[in-house]
A and B are shown apart, each in its own frame.
Chain A
Amino acid sequence: MDLPLIVIRRMAIGVVTVLVVSLLVFAGTELLPGDVAQAILGPGATPESIANIRARLGLDQAAHIRYMHWFGNLLHGDMGTSLVSGREISVLIAERSSNTFLLAGVTALVAVPLSVLLGLIASTRPNGRIDKTISAITLTLISIPDFLVAVILVSIFSVQLGWLPALSTIRPDSNFLELARMLVLPVTALSFTVIAHMARMTRTAVLNELTSPAIEMAILKGVPKSRLLLVHALSNAIAPIVNVIALNLAYLISGVVVIETLFNINGLGKLMVDAVTTRDIPLVQGCAMLFCAVYVLLNLFADTISIVANPRIRHPK
């Protein structure tokens, strides 16, 4: 099979995955035995009012009809209205998403170059002193939950020193400096774990490449070590590294949910957690679909990159 065909096939699988994900999200929220109408009205609800709300939400229709209806609307960008605030979910999500993308984007900008660099440094002398230090630090960081990092950062920089705000309630009129000050702690807390993962995986990817016959050939040819690492090994390790980056950005999704709640950032993660707490099912569905779609797309992107970067597929015999 030639390259475009493989990529198109992978994209098609991605589309199917999003479809399946939408089915799972719908099934998870609608078919599990918890009764939404009961949840909204609380234990004191009369049977009539429950029947009323069920009719209003369309819950009296068959599940597959409701799914078609829901998914059809979703494709038009209509996610329904929130049960709690009564506002359009698409508007709510649009309002909040910029903050989340800002948080995740800045984290990616900080974490990606730093971790690739750390991974490269560690792989220059495998099992040397620097490598062992980096390895010990990253192993420790992987085991630490991001909320511990956040709690420590807040207690040092907000409470003890008073340099940075403990809460990062981003308002539309916040200026650049305020925004930067508010983002330092959440971005640092998020970066720690992600950097640790990415640095370790980058090291493994580069070391894997360094043991390949091609590199052995280059060593025998007398290629200098820096060129060996940066040109020969790195260019071949780009596919696995990009894969690692995309996977970790996907990992950011769960980090974002926790960190937004901790720093009170009004982004999508906090929106969703609040929706889960108040059992605002349509809003949970909307947020879950968005998060899952981004996750699937990032994975799809990583796969496509590694397909395109693979010389065996690029130049078929």
Chain B
Amino acid sequence: MRNIQSKSSPFRDLLQNLTPTAIICLSILIILIVLAIAAPWVSPYQPTEILTDESYHLMSDSMLLGGDYLGRDIASRLIYGLQITLGVTFVVTVLAFFTGCLLGFLAAVLGGIFDTLLSRVIDALIALPAIMIALIVIASLGSSLPVLIVTLALIDSTRVFRIARALAMNIVASDYVEAARVRGEGLKWIIWHEILPNALGPLAAEFGIRFTYTILFMSALGFLGLGMQPPHADLGLLIRENMQGLLFGSYAPLYPALAISLITITINIFIDWYLQQLDSALPSEF
């Protein structure tokens, strides 16, 4: 995208079409991300610090959202949980996109036996429900941060591979790629300068979709007690830890659940807006 000379960049066009809903979603997301990054400075206490020996301490000035079952500050645990969930999800999605796109583009450009073999393997993996893959791997390796990241990235990359391959297939069939090939451009050049820039729009939307999917999936694993291990907690594990609190009239499990939903809803609405922009940016057939 470096070579664009025209004065109106697609990015600026996009910014000009921001609707109020899109602006609200974007602001919420930015606030959450800043909160996650700045966790050590904004959280009132250490997330693992036990402040009182009373379970499910009520909301007070010193504990804004109250205490959890061990007497730890819920607000602090929530901010750190946000950091873990967003951080892990980001790493997972980037990893999945890197491998998925690279293999998908290669499969589309190279074709032949490479494409057939790779596609069959991915088909077999997609024939398994994602949660089964995760449960099988965690059963045999135990749950740890590296296992979690690699497993989630593997599951995501199979889905990314399919989309990247389909997008690249269309682009490879176009005249300008044919022209580049005739010109004698190498594989690397075609992938970087022809396929990637043209696939970037739809891939960006897919990045958002995979991101929300990974957050929900990771939270489900955390909730099952098979994700992050205590004392560190992602948002899913925070719900699990405090489920009993509901019976004592505490809303402790509600906050992390709401945080998860807030992230996924805003991303989904934002993608919805983005896809509409993408559609209207395409030249109409009529």
CA distance A292 to B129 in the complex (A): 7
Q: Is the CB of B124 within 8 A of A291?
A: no
Q: Is the CB of B246 within 8 A of A276?
A: no
Partner of B128, one of A147, A159, A295: A295
CB A24 to nearest CB in B, in angstroms, measures 6
Interface 9-residue window, one of A118-126, A218-226, A253-261, A304-312: A253-261
From A33, A144, A147, A277, residue with most partner B Cβ within 10 Å: A147
- CB proximity to B under 8 Å, residues A275-302: 275-277, 279-281, 284, 288, 291-292, 295-296, 299
CA distance A139 to B25 in the complex (A): 14
Contacts of A241 in B (CB 8 A): none
**Which A-chain residue is minimally distant from B136 (CB atoms)?**
A28
Interface 9-residue window, one of B8-16, B65-73, B139-147: B139-147
Is A36 located at the chain interface by the 8 A CB criterion?
yes
Q: Is the CB of A147 within 8 A of B136?
A: no
**Which B-chain residue is minimally distant from A279 (CB atoms)?**
B139
Partner of A32, one of B129, B141, B220, B246: B141
Q: Is the CB of B132 within 8 A of A296?
A: no
Binding site secondary structure of chain A:
helix
CA distance A288 to B137 in the complex (A): 11
CB B61 to nearest CB in A, in angstroms, measures 24
Q: Is the CB of B247 within 8 A of A276?
A: no
Interface 9-residue window, one of A45-53, A148-156, A180-188: A148-156
CB B207 to nearest CB in A, in angstroms, measures 16
Q: How many A residues touch the partner, as a band?
A: 35 or more
Contacts of B127 in A (CB 8 A): 17, 20-21, 292, 295-296, 299
CB A150 to nearest CB in B, in angstroms, measures 9
Q: Is the CB of A148 within 8 A of B260?
A: yes
Interface 9-residue window, one of B52-60, B161-169, B172-180, B265-273: B265-273
CA distance A70 to B226 in the complex (A): 26
**Which B-chain residue is minimally distant from A277 (CB atoms)?**
B225
Is B203 located at the chain interface by the 8 A CB criterion?
no
**Which A-chain residue is minimally distant from B260 (CB atoms)?**
A145
In the complex, per-residue mask of B1-28: 1 if CB is within 8 Å of any chain A CB, else 0: 0000000000000000000000000000
Q: Is the CB of B246 within 8 A of A155?
A: yes
Q: Is the CB of A148 within 8 A of B272?
A: no
**Which A-chain residue is minimally distant from B242 (CB atoms)?**
A151
Contacts of A261 in B (CB 8 A): 223-224
Q: Is the CB of B254 within 8 A of A291?
A: no
Partner of A151, one of B139, B220, B249, B253: B253
CA distance A295 to B131 in the complex (A): 12
Contacts of A142 in B (CB 8 A): 268
**Which B-chain residue is minimally distant from A29 (CB atoms)?**
B140
In the complex, per-residue mask of A132-165: 1 if CB is within 8 Å of any chain B CB, else 0: 0000000110111101100110110011000000
CA distance A139 to B239 in the complex (A): 23
> With A144-B264, A148-B258, A152-B254 in contact, is A257–B139 under 8 Å at CB?
no
**Which A-chain residue is minimally distant from B217 (CB atoms)?**
A254
Partner of A166, one of B132, B140, B247, B257: B247
List the 4 shortest-distance A-B pairs measured between CB atoms, nearest first.
Answer: A148-B257, A143-B264, A254-B131, A28-B136
| 27 contacts across the A-B interface (CB closer than 8 A) | A17-B124, A24-B125, A25-B136, A29-B139, A32-B137, A32-B140, A34-B141, A147-B223, A152-B257, A158-B246, A159-B247, A253-B132, A254-B130, A254-B131, A254-B220, A257-B224, A273-B226, A276-B226, A277-B226, A281-B139, A284-B139, A288-B135, A291-B129, A292-B127, A292-B129, A295-B127, A295-B128
Residue numbers of B with Cβ under 8 A of A are: 124-125, 127-133, 135-142, 212, 216, 219-220, 223-226, 236, 239, 243, 246-247, 249, 251, 253-254, 257-258, 260-261, 264-265, 267-269, 272
